[in-house]
Structure 1
Amino acid sequence: PVDGPVQDLASTDIRCSFNAVPINDNGILCTVLATAGIDITFNRSGFTHSSPIFTYMAKCAPDRGSFTGSVGKVWIKVHQRGYDTVWVGQWLHDQEYKWYTVVPACLEPREYLVRYEVFGLSNCAKVRVCQSYPSCHQAKVLGIGTTYQNSNCLVSFPGTGYSGTKPGI
């Protein structure tokens, strides 16, 4: 996928970046053991924006080879970081551009699509010029969890996750 900002928050590119498609059984799969304290790592080098960063997960149905996260409210936010004495751009630089997300131990074992997003806020005062840098990867969560989340906590991309015309973006 192209490494550039997605500025149209209503486009399908907001989900996993430009022209993202599932990888179907080519051996590329990260296996994650879902126990408290186990994390998965995202590397976002060179990002210097004043921004928050978010991690979402969606159950792959029927499997990772065909799931795109495009149908309905399927995404749940599992982690975020905003301003905390420094913006995420500086924090990522200090962490050698690595972002760690703890996999919730309660998740049921199955394949998931993991969505990381760094959100550049510098131009968000204008409609359709916020800068989203989404990226996705596939993960197989192992463990004994039994839950995902009820539908009240799920969002869609595009859709209920963001709107380029709502306050706060």
Structure 2
Amino acid sequence: MAACPNGRDCSDFYGWEKAAWFKIEETAFVSVPVTDWSPSGVAWATQKMYDNGMKWTFTIPKCLANGPYLIRHETMAVQDSDELGKAQFYPNCAQVYVSGGTGKLKPKLVKLPGDIQPTDPGVLFERPPLPFAYTPP
């Protein structure tokens, strides 16, 4: 997420000018029924999104300050993640207004694009059969 600087809306906020983004959630693997395609009962989190009609549900932390924000949801395709520069990123943004927040969170801000590099663990990696130790970028 990123707080919109004018305090009203995100109409004049581009998001790439400085470190403004912070992470509120990440998911790599989900539990699924054991099947031929998932004998371990584990799948990439995109399976949950597919099963939910291409929707993803999460909770916005109550510790955020009130105001307008951009939410950036990103899906990363990892089928070619063992080749440098082949991981594929699919970001989408939506504007929300947070109310009832406490303002206690002072998150570490990062610049996007720029915080994630093609050589980062979780972007460039070998994909053994699931499950395996994995940390999202």
Alignment of 1:69 with 2:30, yes or no, is: no
Q: 1:102 aligns with which of 59, 63, 70?
A: 59
Cα distance in 1 for residues equivalent to 2:26 and 2:58? 9
**Closer, same or farther: CA 144–124 of 1 in aligned 2, 3 Å:** closer
In structure 1, runs of 5+ residues without a counterpart are 1-56
Q: Given the alignment of the two structures, is residue 158 of structure 1 paired with residue 113 of structure 2, yes or no?
A: yes
- Superposed structure 1 runs of 4+ greater than 6 Å apart: none
- What is the CA–CA distance in structure 1 between the aligned matches of 2:89 and 2:54, rounded to whole Å? 17
Q: Give RMSD over aligned pairs.
A: 1.5
- Letter of the 2:55 partner, please give it: K
Change (3 A) 1:125 1:81: same
More strand by share: 1
Q: Where does structure 2 lack aligned partners over 5 or more consecutive residues?
A: 31-41, 124-137
Counterpart AA for 2:113: P
Count of residue correspondences: 110
Deviation sequence 1:69-116 (CA, Å, 0-9, x none): 112221111011111312122211222221012010011110001000
3-state DSSP of counterpart to 2:46:
helix
- Give, as a single letter, the amino acid of the residue that structure 2 aligns with 1:69: G
Indicate the residue corresponding to 2:129 in structure 1.
Answer: none
Normalising to structure 1: TM-score of the pair? 0.60
Aligned amino acid, residue 51 of structure 2: D
SS in 1 for 2:106: coil
Asked if the contact 1:76/1:149 (under 8 Å) is kept, the reply is no
Could you say which structure has the larger radius of gyration?
2
